[in-house]
Amino acid sequence: MISLTEARDAYRGYAPAYDLLFGPLLQTARRRAIRVANDRPGQRVLEIGVGTGLSLPHYRPDVQLVGIDVSDEMLAKARDRARCGVLAERSRFHLMNAEAMDFLDGSFDVVVALFVASTVQDLARFGAEIRRVCRPDGRIVLVNHFSTPGGFSARLSRHLGRFAGSLGFEPYFPLDHFLDETGLRVAAIEPTGVFGRLKLLQATNG
Ligand SMILES: C[S@@+](CC[C@H](N)C(=O)[O-])C[C@H]1O[C@@H](n2cnc3c(N)ncnc32)[C@H](O)[C@@H]1O
């Protein structure tokens, strides 16, 4: 498990080069997820672990967007990106832990989490907080890598697990473990991203 300090240290390190390393590589999945999540006018959307804000260009201009992250350095980049775009007046960013959010119950129509689930510290608290701040019948849209149980890539990612703290994410991250811990009731799963190796999960809050 990754500690909060490890996550902050890892993403402080990634921040200057994050867009170069993980920008184009994951952009297809980001675009698809935001298209699914922000499909109606005037939605209140929370993006957890918004990072440097690479998803921002894909939101509708009428969204009310709140982005949170535990890394000051990543968040500073998201704020800069928002300032230069159409969401300047329609977005707010907070340094906040997804596992203990300051929002009231049911504050958002949609909660989005892109490549965050495998970086958080406690999946049960992460899932409980997402369900709490999303309104009843609201939607939860999440993209992540999920490990397959067998084969070479599972062995490799298990092996790399010992470096999770420095990497800033859990390389071995099975879907059933994620679902058990978070208690999310997923309605649809689709492959996405380059070679369909990532998964886009949609859940209804209720
Ligand atoms: C792999 S990056 C993904 C960033 C962005 N969503 C993207 O599409 O590139 C994971 C992000 O989650 C943030 N993070 C890790 N643990 C968190 C937590 N408990 N609460 C909020 N953000 C967290 C990290 O600081 C980092 O910015």
Q: In which element (H, E) is residue 129 found? A: helix 123-133
Whole domain around residue 150: which residue ranges?
A: 4-204
What pLDDT sits at residue 23?
96
Distances (CA, A) of 7 to 13, 113, 178, 186: 10, 16, 18, 26
What pLDDT sits at residue 54?
98
Q: Give the pLDDT confidence of 106-144 residue by residue, as tens digits.
A: 999 999 999 999 999 999 999 999 999 999 999 999 999
The low-confidence residues of the chain, meaning pLDDT below 70, are: 195
Give the count of domains, the chain.
1
Question: Ligand 1 centroid to 172 CA: how many Å?
Answer: 17
d(CA 118, CA 114): 10
Atom of ligand 1 nearest to the CA of 98: 20
- Assess contact for 126 and 120: CB atoms under 8 A: yes
What pLDDT sits at residue 197?
80
Question: Ligand 1 centroid to 162 CA: how many Å?
Answer: 20
What pLDDT sits at residue 159?
77
- Assess contact for 203 and 130: CB atoms under 8 A: no
Alpha carbon 205 to its chain's center: 17
What pLDDT sits at residue 100?
98
Residues 6+ apart with CB under 8 A from 134: 46, 106, 108, 109, 110, 111, 140, 205
What pLDDT sits at residue 71?
98
d(CA 6, CA 13): 11
Atom of ligand 1 nearest to the CA of 169: 1
Instruction: Please tell me the residue having the least CA distance from ligand 1 atom 24.
Output: 49
- Of 30, 61, 62, which Cα lies nearest the Cα of 47? 30
What pLDDT sits at residue 149?
77
Question: Ligand 1 centroid to 19 CA: how many Å?
Answer: 13
Question: Ligand 1 centroid to 16 CA: how many Å?
Answer: 15
What pLDDT sits at residue 19?
98
- Assess contact for 134 and 140: CB atoms under 8 A: yes
What pLDDT sits at residue 62?
97
- Of 144, 164, 160, which Cα lies nearest the Cα of 152? 160
> Hey, what are 14's tokens?
């990634």
What pLDDT sits at residue 143?
98
Mutate to test the pocket of ligand 1, among 19, 21, 70, 75 (most ligand atoms within 8 A of CB): 70
Q: What is the CATH number of the domain that holds 65?
A: 3.40.50.150
What pLDDT sits at residue 133?
98
What pLDDT sits at residue 194?
76
Backbone angles phi, psi at 115, to 5 degrees: 60, 35
